[in-house]
C-alpha cells in the first residue's frame, strides 16, 4: 500500500466482503487477513537512525540541566530543558511513522506508476 486512499479502499472492500457473509471460506479468510494487515500497518514504528539522535538530544538536555543546576544558573537550566524538549519533539515528528508509511517510502523508488 502506497497511499492512505489505497488503505481506505482496501479496508472498505474487506469490511464489505465480511458484511455480505458469502459462503466462500477462502474469501472470508482473505478479507479477515487484509483487515489484520491494515490494523498492523497502523502501528507506530521508529526509523533506526532516529534512535541515536533522540538519545543524543536527551543526554545533551540532561547535561545542560545538571550543569546549570550545579552552577546555580537558572537560565541555563530553563534553556536546556526548553531546547531539548523542542528538539525531542521535532525528532519524534521526524522519525516516528506508521508502519505502512515506512513500507510505502521504502517501496516508492521501485513503483513505476501509482494506483489509487
Chain segment 30-86, per-residue pLDDT in tens: 999 999 999 988 888 887 778 888 888 999 999 999 999 999 899 999 999 999 999
pLDDT digits (tens, 9 = 90+) for 94-114: 888 888 888 888 887 887 776
Calpha distance 68→80 (Å, rounded): 8
Give the pLDDT confidence score for residue 47 in this predicted structure.
Answer: 76
Q: Specify the pTM.
A: 0.59
46: β partners: 96
- In this structure, what are the phi and psi dihedrals at residue 114, rounded to the nearest 5 degrees? -75, 145
Res 115 pLDDT > 70: no
Do the Cβ atoms of 50 and 94 come closer than 8 Å?
yes
Average pLDDT over residues 86-95: 90
Amino acid at each position: 500500500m502506497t497511499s492512505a486512499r489505497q488503505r481506505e479502499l482496501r479496508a472498505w472492500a474487506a469490511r464489505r466482503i465480511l458484511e455480505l457473509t458469502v459462503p466462500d471460506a477462502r474469501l472470508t479468510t482473505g478479507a479477515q487477513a487484509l483487515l489484520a494487515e491494515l490494523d498492523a500497518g497502523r502501528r507506530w514504528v521508529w526509523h533506526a537512525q532516529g534512535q541515536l539522535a533522540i538519545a543524543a538530544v536527551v543526554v545533551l538536555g540532561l547535561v545542560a540541566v545538571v550543569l546549570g543546576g550545579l552552577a546555580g544558573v537558572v537560565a541555563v537550566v530553563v534553556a536546556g530543558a526548553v531546547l531539548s524538549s523542542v528538539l525531542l519533539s521535532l525528532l519524534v515528528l521526524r522519525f516516528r511513522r506508521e508502519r505502512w508509511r515506512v513500507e510505502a517510502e521504502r517501496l516508492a523508488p521501485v513503483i513505476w506508476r501509482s494506483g489509487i
